[in-house]
Chain A
């Protein structure tokens, strides 16, 4: 008599909970984490055979070594994370290395590499949240001359034309292309590393800088590590990773930095930087001492601390003097 009621009440509660859970679950599944809802147009390179070379930046850039007359197809994925349908134009355009930096040409300006590159779909119509994979084919003519060529594959969207006066905005995002033309394998990586320089970053942390110069014929993805040894008290530290973050074009140089923790003592240290790219390794060993850290407030705080020290010494002297006088008086009395 008594038992059916509690069971049925609990059963009702459990059923309610399950119902609430099932209603909540789909909305939880469809909710996009805050940092992904960037509300934009994205482009992603799908890894290909050349990405297996292991160099990290070949996953972000189209890096290929092609003989004249050959072809390769890479896939890119274009995504739309906005709330509206987007018509995205996909096309290759020229790029070059200017003053050591990768520079894009305006609009759809072409260069040899962009003229050898075609995309399967030049306009993709993307619903909100949709992605599409587009194929990018590079086909070299038989007479293509050797050397490194640069281009960018762009995914571009425009705001609708303004009805009133104003500015029409066009935004585009792209994947860089570094294509080395020539027969056989990639040219051997050749680069030099300058002696290391120790300094301090803007926020006072010790850093080590090295200038890397690419003397070979191909763009290099340079990575390595810095090790500190023979430090104060026999300390050693590291290895700390060193990367340049972008491919270094032939005959260009770049300065890379390793920023260290502020706890690292000044030195002297034996700093050993070993860099590698494409199977070639170079290292630079230098004895370094970090410059003195400038305390916040600079000279004024040094003056203040000196004054404080002086005051303390003065007070101690006065106290010592008072103690001597007091004990003498006391001694006389006692005596």
Chain B
């Protein structure tokens, strides 16, 4: 009798032990988080060259160095690159306003699934969009912009400096 009871108990325990884990389910999931959105660091001091002061207006242009936007956020994302310039200010005398500054991104080299579109702009007073990117994965877009500045007639000789800010978000 005792042996029977013991046997039944053991059998019951084993059965419960076998059945329970099969009935329990463990939810599992994984998360893919975003990578970084990055912009290349600017190269030190860009000079647009020099020319002789003139009684007629002229245009000076130069390259700002390459800009690279790397979108590692993953999935379908978009980014907008905008630029703003201050006026070109000499140590003394009138400044050349930012309305005279144009920005042209030029050809954009894309690496990875991104469609990057350039918008040439001719007035950098406010923040203007210069390149937009629509990315469907990990991608990089690089361009070497050229800026041109109209130097009005009869501007005095001097060193004209400005700050150009490129923003990507």
Contacts and interface: CB of A to CB of B under 8 A. Distances in A.
A76 B36 CA distance: 10
Interface string B45-63: 1111010000000000000
Contact of A38 (B65, B140, B161, B162): B140
A159 B46 CA distance: 10
A33 to B, nearest CB: 11
A57 interface: yes
A162 B161 contact: yes
Contact of A163 (B41, B45, B67, B164): B45
Contact of A166 (B46, B165, B166): B46
A289 B75 CA distance: 30
A77 B35 CA distance: 10
A158 B111 CA distance: 26
Contacts of A43: 36-38
A152 B167 CA distance: 11
Nearest to B138: A35
B33 A59 contact: yes
B169 A79 contact: no
Interface in A167-191: 167-176
Nearest to A162: B45
A106 B165 contact: yes
A245 B134 contact: yes
A102 to B, nearest CB: 7
Interface string B29-41: 0010111111111
Contacts of A45: 34
Contacts, number: 180
Given A164-B45, A171-B41, A107 B34 contact: no
A256 B105 CA distance: 25
A169 B68 contact: no
Contacts of B99: none
A173 B39 contact: yes
A165 B160 contact: yes
Contact of B38 (A42, A56, A158, A163): A42
B84 interface: yes
Contact of B42 (A79, A159, A245): A159
Interface string A70-109: 0000000101011010100000000100000111111100
Nearest to A83: B41
A40 interface: yes
Interface residues of A, number: 56
Given A38-B70, A165-B161, A243-B76, A160 B45 contact: yes
Contact of B68 (A40, A244, A245): A40
Contacts of B147: 167
A105 B167 CA distance: 10
A169 B76 contact: no
Nearest to B166: A171
Interface string A39-53: 111111111000000
A197 interface: no
A31 to B, nearest CB: 18
A171 B78 CA distance: 18
B169 A169 contact: no
B82 A104 contact: yes
Contacts of B77: 57, 60, 245-246
Given A40-B39, A166-B45, A245 B76 contact: yes
A17 to B, nearest CB: 36
A101 B38 CA distance: 20
Of A86, A106, A165, the most chain B CB neighbours within 10 A belong to: A165
A165 B67 contact: no
Interface in B63-98: 64-65, 67-68, 70, 72-73, 75-78, 80, 82, 84
A161 interface: yes
B41 to A, nearest CB: 5
A39 B78 contact: no
A48 to B, nearest CB: 11
Given A102-B80, A104-B82, A167-B161, A86 B41 contact: yes
Nearest to A107: B165
A52 to B, nearest CB: 8
Contacts of A160: 44-45
Contacts of A269: none
10 contacts: A103-B82, A105-B127, A167-B47, A167-B147, A167-B161, A169-B43, A169-B46, A174-B169, A241-B76, A246-B77
Interface of A: 35, 38-47, 56-57, 59-60, 77, 79, 81-82, 84, 86, 95, 101-107, 152, 154, 157-176, 241, 243-246
